[in-house]
Amino acid sequence: MTKTSFLGRKHSKESNEKNRLSHLGRKYSKEHREAISKALKGKNYGRIGENHPRWIKDRTKLVKRQERNDSAYYAWRREVWLRDNFKCKIANPDCLGKIVAHHILPWSKFPELRYQINNGITLCQAHHPRKRAEEKRLSPYFQKIISGEIVSVSKE
């Protein structure tokens, strides 16, 4: 493969216009059109709508909206933050950055507890569990904090 001296450069406006005019009205043979079509199909050309592999024929199965964008979720989060005074409940020198309202018992496994204030805890991003295994391990600890058995882990 040879490198061209034009690599990284742009055509001038006059050059672009010349190229555009030279291609106007050009008629391609059927074989050439089929070759172009075949080349473009490999790049998902024409795979929109019903031709797309993930197209859902039964339109009733479409997700209407995400529940985490619901006003009830925002209200739950605000109530959790208010209860915890907008501070991380672990509260140690590692706390920094944005706070998040964390579900103690998972959102997906306990839909009936999604909007229960006692199923939430305010944590900073540094203390928010990153993995499901870590979340499961810390869940009993978070429940003790919320119930008042552990007041704070502050070193102050």
Q: Tokens for 30?
A: 């059927």
Type of residue found at 117: I
Q: Which long-range contacts (CB under 8 A, 24 or more apart) does 81-86 make?
A: 81/122, 83/117, 83/122, 84/121, 84/122, 86/122
Q: How far apart are CA 73 and CA 84, in angstroms?
A: 17
Query: How many domains does the chain divide into?
Result: 2
- pLDDT at position 37 is 77
Q: How far apart are CA 60 and CA 57, in angstroms?
A: 9
Q: Tokens for 40?
A: 């473009």
In 3D space, the residue among 144, 68, 64 whose CA is nearest the CA of residue 104 turns out to be 144
Based on the domain organization, do 71 and 126 belong to the same domain? yes
Based on the domain organization, do 99 and 129 belong to the same domain? yes
- pLDDT at position 51 is 77
Type of residue found at 47: R
- pLDDT at position 4 is 67
pTM, entire model: 0.53
Residue 118 DSSP code = G
Half-sphere exposure of 94 (CA within 13 A, CB side): 9
Based on the domain organization, do 127 and 87 belong to the same domain? yes
Q: Is 119 part of a structural domain of the chain?
A: yes
Q: Is 153 part of a structural domain of the chain?
A: no
Q: Is 152 part of a structural domain of the chain?
A: no
Type of residue found at 118: N
Q: Is 9 part of a structural domain of the chain?
A: no
- Answer for the pair 86, 101: CB distance below 8 angstroms, yes or no: no
pLDDT tens digits in sequence order for the chain, 156 residues long = 556 677 778 899 999 999 889 988 888 889 988 887 777 766 666 677 787 777 888 877 776 667 777 888 999 999 999 998 898 888 777 777 789 999 988 888 888 888 999 999 998 888 888 887 888 888 888 888 877 766 554 433
Look up the domain containing 127 and give its range.
Answer: 67-147
